């Protein structure tokens, strides 16, 4: 009996993590992540302006963004911007073999690394930024 090898399986972000190529549970696109970040920044600026008005918010908007991001990701795995765009932060077990339910304290270093801007731009083959790799998380589509 002769066997023929089929075409090599196509690589896609999340394949090594056992995630689907598209649809629910697939790795979120960079566009969705950037869009969610922009929504969160605008929301933070509006809240900061509301807190400091009539004065300019200055660094209050950064503080609001950091607190909002840490609290919502730690407790719910999702920021308001991510909720609007249907994506979510999901923690991985240390061996990357299965998902857990909530991010917890990993939200603190993850947020600090996002603040530096560069770590989220350094993607690996699974579509995870440096901040996600260091904090053992992945951003997935939830709708």
Measure the CA–CA gap between 128 and 140, rounded to whole angstroms. Answer: 10
Best CA proximity match to 21, nearest among 5, 32, 30, 10: 10
Is residue 59 predicted with pLDDT exceeding 70?
yes
- Quote the distance between the C-alpha of residue 1 and its chain's center: 48
Average pLDDT over residues 106-111: 94
pLDDT band at 7 (very low <50, low <70, confident <90, very high): low
Average pLDDT over residues 55-81: 95
Task: Write down the pLDDT at residue 10.
Answer: 82
The model's pTM is 0.86
Is residue 66 predicted with pLDDT exceeding 60?
yes
Task: Write down the pLDDT at residue 99.
Answer: 61
For residue range 17-48, list pLDDT tens digits in order: 889 999 999 999 999 999 999 999 999 999 99
Phi and psi angles of residue 21, each rounded to the nearest 5 degrees, phi first: -70, -35
Q: What is the DSSP code string of 71-125?
A: HHHHHHS--HHHHHHTEEEEEB-TTSSSB-S--GGGHHHHHHHHHTSHHHH---T
pLDDT band at 102 (very low <50, low <70, confident <90, very high): confident
Task: Write down the pLDDT at residue 133.
Answer: 94
């Amino acid at each position: 009996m002769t066997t023929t090898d089929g075409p090599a399986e196509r690589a896609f972000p999340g394949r090594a993590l056992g995630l689907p190529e598209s649809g629910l549970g697939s790795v979120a696109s960079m566009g969705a992540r950037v869009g969610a970040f922009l929504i969160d920044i605008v929301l933070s600026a509006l809240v900061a302006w509301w807190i400091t008005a009539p004065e300019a918010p200055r660094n209050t908007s950064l503080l609001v963004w950091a607190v909002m991001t840490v609290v919502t990701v730690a407790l719910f795995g999702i920021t308001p911007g991510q909720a609007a765009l249907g994506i979510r932060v999901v923690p991985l077990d240390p061996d990357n073999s299965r998902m857990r339910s909530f991010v917890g304290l990993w939200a603190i270093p993850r947020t600090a690394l996002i603040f530096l801007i560069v770590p989220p731009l350094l993607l690996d083959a699974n579509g995870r930024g440096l901040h996600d790799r260091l904090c053992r998380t992945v951003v997935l589509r939830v709708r």
